[in-house]
Amino acid sequence: MNNKNELIYEGKAKKVFSHDDEDKVIIEFKDDATAFNSLKKAKFEGKGKLNCQISTRIFELLIKKNIPTHFIELKNENTMIAKKIKVIPLEIVLRNIAYGSLCKQTTIKSGTVLAKPLIDIYLKNDELNDPLITKERIELMDILNIEDLDIIINLTLKINLILKNFFKKIKLKLVDFKLEFGYDLKNNILLGDEISPDNCRLWDLNQQNDTIVSLDKDRFRNDLGGLIEAYSEINRRINEFI
Ligand code: TMP
Ligand code: ASP
């Protein structure tokens, strides 16, 4: 980054800098990891690079399948150039298998394969602890109109089909994932943020029995160890396949 690139925003896992072109930004992936709204924090050397590489490959795959995303190009190992977007403050979670908060908040048994994908929408607000919200509350808060919310939900379902199929080919089960969307300068809805083991649950399908082996941020959330090894394995499988 040079002096001209001003820090616009710093999140838990990424920094966003201005770009010489007004309609672009530079996104730097950090080595920091947080869980449970920052109650738990750590640094993993190399995580930023791995998530940047993995996200790049996934965005490239989605773009090929006509999903509108903010991704433009990889700049270097841990930075990418993306279109500038106004982030919609919603976290769109899609679940194929019941796990994590769904099982803590309901009586659904962990590991239950859901008959159809479940979409849970959370308000992106650290102070409120990212609460689960409803369509009606979204409308009341004037976050976006319901037509745009439907576009986002349909894109999420389409992304799920593409990713589920892709990860299956590299022997990974896509349990659930979180997406964020935004508006570009022309008001188009684009997929933003990142797609990496930080915001997807991925289970290894190379297991003899039904043992769950998480190759994602659950290694940190649940103190399993081996986070960098897991992310490296995902990166290796993706690069071997593509
Ligand atoms: P959950 O089971 O904790 O609700 O998580 C569902 C999915 O969303 C899982 O793949 C992890 C991801 N996620 C994020 O990316 N950011 C978050 O802040 C949370 C809570 C979950
Ligand atoms: N990203 C969230 C946090 O830092 C939580 C998570 O991914 O589990 O707090």
pLDDT score of 1: 66
Instruction: Find the DSSP H helices in the chain.
Output: 47-64, 101-105, 135-141, 146-169, 218-221, 227-241
For the chain, what is the mean pLDDT?
97
Q: What is the mean pLDDT of residues 7-17?
A: 97
Instruction: Give yes or no for a contact between 90 and 122, defined as CB atoms under 8 angstroms apart.
Output: yes
Degrees (nearest 5) of the Cα angle 215, 220, 226? 55
172-196: pLDDT as tens digits: 999 999 999 999 999 999 999 999 9
Give the nearest ligand 1 atom to 103 CA: 2
Single out the residue of 164, 55, 57, 81 nearest to residue 117, CA to CA. 164
Q: Where in the chain is the domain with CATH 3.30.200.20?
A: 7-83
pLDDT higher than 90, residue 242? no
Where do you find CATH 3.30.470.20 in the chain?
A: 86-241
Q: Whose CA is nearest to atom 6 of ligand 2?
A: 35
**Does the pLDDT of residue 2 top 80, yes or no?**
no
Instruction: Of 170, 184, 194, 175, give the one whose Cα is nearest residue 74.
Output: 194
How many CB atoms within 10 Å of residue 47? 26
Answer yes or no: pTM beyond 0.85.
yes
- Residue located nearest, by CA, to atom 8 of ligand 2: 35
Ligand 1 centroid to 175 CA: how many Å? 11
Ligand 1 pocket mutation, candidates 108, 112, 173, 176, criterion most atoms within 8 A of CB = 176
The CATH number of the structural domain formed by 86-241 is: 3.30.470.20
CA distance 102 to 85: 30
pLDDT band at 3 (very low <50, low <70, confident <90, very high): low
Ligand 2 in contact with 131 (CB < 6 A)?
no
Nearest residue by C-alpha to atom 1 in ligand 2: 35
Instruction: Calculate the CA 139 to chain-centre distance.
Output: 24
Q: For residue 219, what are its two tokens? A: 């290694």
Instruction: Return the CATH superfamily for domain 7-83.
Output: Phosphorylase Kinase; domain 1 (3.30.200.20)
